[in-house]
Amino acid sequence: MTDADTTNDPHLWLEDVTGEQALAWVRERNAEAVAALTGGERFETTRRRLREVLDADDRIAYPRRRGEHLYNFWQDAAHPRGLWRRTTLEEYRGGDPEWTVLLDVDALAEAEGENWVWAGAAVLRPDFRLALVELSRGGADAAVVREFDVEAREFVADGFTLPEAKSRVGWIDADTVYVGTDFGDGSMTASGYPRVIKSWRRGTPLEEAETVFEGKPDDVSAFAYHDSTPGFERDFVGRHPDFFSSEEFLRAPDGTLTRIDVPDDASTDVHRQWLLVSLRSDWEVNGTTYPTGALLAADFDAYLAGSRELTVLFEPDARTSLSGYAWTRNHLILNELSDVKTRLEVLTPGADGWARESLPGAPELGSADVLDTDPDNSDEYLLNVSGYLQPSTLMRGEIGGEVEVLRRAPAFFDTDGLTVEQHFATSDDGTKVPYFVVRGEQPGGPTLLYGYGGFEVSLTPGYSGGLGRAWLEQGGTYVVANIRGGGEYGPAWHRAALRENRPRAYEDMAAVAKDLVARGITTPDRLGMQGGSNGGLLAGVMLTRYPELFGAIVSQVPLLDLRRYHLLLAGASWMAEWGDPDDPADWAYLQGYSPYHNVHSGMKYPPVFFVTSTRDDRVHPGHARKMAARMRELGFEPKYYENIEGGHGAAADNAQRAFMSAIVYEFLLRTLAPEGGVGAAG
């Protein structure tokens, strides 16, 4: 097989997702992995204890406010597919709320003979009576859409419905929705997302829906949405030419489009009279240069009329970035990261500009996330606080008032003797790369290094009862690397590892691995590495480029064939991240780190486990299949397991999640701690 000639790929047949021959190969590999890794006492204990965490009745039921009610989707042992339900704040405060079940997905699946997995619901403001419920088969991204009457707790007869597709749908009013779906030839982009957006009125056939906006065939997607904020009702349409750029328009009632004129790679948000602009690159306006990573504010109507009076709400420095923000009725909450540690601020617009003050709640070595606000009606916010050794706490506050604790998550593992540290490794080009270490007092246990490094995603500290039970209590050390490609230091940190610069992310990961050894935290034969999706690609590169640094590799729902990734499922949408394999200049660097093209006979690779899902319609399972087959062809013995359902998360319910996690931990413990580890599961 030559690198650039995919017609000579001997494993191309494994890209046939549900083909009989391909699935027979999958079942053989699954049987091998199950026989090798399951059935022992430790595996069964781990699986049971992981399931206990997932199904625990006392874990936090995270709510989302919709009008007078708090909504929650809940899965447990009795309801593996889940319950969509709601209660009131007063009930929720009481500790044991009475929930009104709106939709029982298990009962629906049984009644209809379908493998339904909950995919979310859009509820119509302001009375929240009607919802557009999305259900997927087996956890895929593609879903069916059905209109649901929340008060009657039943689907609306002859209501809005869409067949299975990667649709985009949202309310305009009680009788009209914006819809982008598979309308037929040419209606979807090359990435498999809606290109054509229509306005669809109740009681009319979908075929008669009015086209309101069209993107281009090579776009990632097109979109439309209605802002129903009283007094500020507006409609917006637009397109995403690639994963990191957009073109957005205000749509007038007569269909006229007015461009929101900001840089293509900036993102915008409109709240009442305010326009917010988040910058991903420097922007010069009227002689002033606003820096990458800044957040700017302007009066929306004045801006569309030509004014360029901008206020800087956040400006990053070398160690600080903006992780996100959320509006309440009268305030803006900023979630900032300083060396990957959370800092919260509240900004308040007034006659004298924007006032600024701290918002309490962020831990020293943890993270705080604004889960929900009520921007139409109040200054309420819901905050979730956690750390590697700190179970989550759900807090409710109103800006300027007291903060109350609504829920504390249970502690699922013993933290006695465990510590959290932050260190910095030095990458090949001198860049300091932060990483967190969670470990006990006894040295010498197995170490698991986790990373992602892509799409401006930040890895912040958080509690995992499953990790604690299955790894830390086994004497394991856990490490999270904040490598370039992520968003820990803002857009520049991400851009530093884009496209031809992607190897910097891999150099960062290798630097962390070396630093762990230099500090005496672990040794190469005791060091494992795990990553999923883009992190699965990271794991594949660690396997093929830095095999001497690791004793085991786990690559989950991975991208591994960078010659064909853009042709498979949603792959074309990620070319802004990695490059276009059909462009010779891009392929020249892609082939240098594409794992599928860099695995060779005669090499000494650490044991590797590929884990994926048949029903993943985002990252094609062919990546993991072909890589495992290629390695077997070269005489290696990779482990392979493919869940027949489960989507990009690789599992559709808690039983599957527990099994998938347990089999991975068993692989790591057998490989990195063959003598049985330091601790023992209870």
Residue 395 lies in a domain: yes
Residue 674, C-beta contacts closer than 8 angstroms, at least 6 positions apart: none
Average pLDDT in the chain: 93
Q: pLDDT over 70 for what percent of the chain?
A: 97
pLDDT in tens, 495-530: 999 999 999 999 999 999 999 999 999 999 999 999
Q: Which structural domain range is residue 576 located in?
A: 12-51+414-672
Under a CB-based contact definition with an 8 Å cutoff, are residues 425 and 515 in contact? Answer: yes
DSSP string over 36-83:
HHSSSHHHHHHHHHHHHHHH-TTS----EEETTEEEEEEEETTEEEEE
Q: Which of 41-55, 584-598, 606-620 has the lowest mean pLDDT?
A: 606-620
- Residues 267, 362 share a domain: no
Cis peptide leading into residue 375 (ω within 30°): no
Residue 160, C-beta contacts closer than 8 angstroms, at least 6 positions apart: 132, 145, 146, 147, 169, 177, 200, 202
- Residues 526, 400 share a domain: no
Residue 98 lies in a domain: no
Q: What is the mean pLDDT of residues 363-389?
A: 92
- Residues 615, 523 share a domain: yes
Residue 341 lies in a domain: yes
Residue 245 lies in a domain: no
Specify the pLDDT at position 362.
Answer: 78
- Residues 372, 441 share a domain: no
Q: How far is CA 316 from CA 207, 254, 291, 320, in A?
A: 48, 41, 8, 5
pLDDT in tens, 203-244: 999 999 999 999 999 999 999 999 999 999 999 999 999 988
Residue 228 lies in a domain: no
Q: Please give the Cα distance from 464 to 392 (Å, whole number).
A: 9
Q: Please give the Cα distance from 519 to 609 (Å, whole number).
A: 27
pLDDT in tens, 447-491: 999 999 999 999 999 999 999 999 999 999 999 999 999 999 999
- Residues 472, 421 share a domain: yes
- Residues 579, 509 share a domain: yes
- Residues 375, 494 share a domain: no
Specify the pLDDT at position 140.
Answer: 81
φ, ψ dihedrals at 74, nearest 5°: -130, 130
Last-in-domain residue among 361, 389, 411: 411
Tally of domains in the chain: 3
- Residues 270, 400 share a domain: no
Residue 178 lies in a domain: no
Quick one: residue 287, left, alpha or beta (phi over 0 = left, psi -120 to 50 = alpha)? left
Facing residues of 640 across strands? 610
Last-in-domain residue among 387, 411, 435: 411
Q: Please give the Cα distance from 526 to 426 (Å, whole number).
A: 21
Tokens of 496: 């530093």
Tokens of 423: 């260190």
C-alpha torsion sign, points 383, 51, 656, 665? positive
Secondary structure of 204-228 in HEC code, one letter for each residue: CCHHHCEEEEECCCCCCEEEEEEEC
Query: Which one of the listed residues 136, 167, 533, 594 is annotated catalytic?
Result: 533
Under a CB-based contact definition with an 8 Å cutoff, are residues 386 and 367 in contact? Answer: yes
Residue 268 lies in a domain: yes
Facing residues of 83 across strands? 74, 104
Given pLDDT bands bounded at 50, 70 and 90, which one contains residue 652? low
Facing residues of 290 across strands? 283
- Residues 657, 553 share a domain: yes
pLDDT in tens, 191-204: 899 999 999 999 99
Last-in-domain residue among 366, 385, 411: 411
List of long-range contacts for 630-636, beta carbons under 8 Å, 24+ apart = 630/11, 630/596, 630/599, 631/599, 631/605, 633/10, 633/11, 634/599, 634/600, 634/601, 635/601, 636/599, 636/605, 636/608
Query: Which one of the listed residues 199, 323, 648, 661 is annotated catalytic?
Result: 648
Residue 570 pLDDT > 90, yes or no? no
Residue 429, C-beta contacts closer than 8 angstroms, at least 6 positions apart: 504, 507
- Residues 640, 598 share a domain: yes
Nearest Cα to Cα of residue 535 among 553, 511, 515: 553
533 flagged as catalytic: yes
Specify the pLDDT at position 651.
Answer: 55
Q: Which residue, chain included where needed, has tokens 């046939």?
A: 16
Q: Please give the Cα distance from 136 to 652 (Å, whole number).
A: 10
Q: What is the CATH number of the domain that holds 457?
A: 3.40.50.1820
- Residues 340, 270 share a domain: no
Residue 362, C-beta contacts closer than 8 angstroms, at least 6 positions apart: 341, 342, 343, 344, 368, 385
Measure CA of the first residue to CA of the last residue in the chain; give whole Å. Answer: 49
DSSP string over 316-371:
-BTTEEEEEEEE-SS-EEEEEEETTEEEEEEEEEETTEEEEEE-S---TTEEEEEE
Residue 647 pLDDT > 70, yes or no? no
Residue 244 lies in a domain: no
- Residues 464, 397 share a domain: no
Helix and strand numbers, DSSP H then E, in the chain: 13, 39
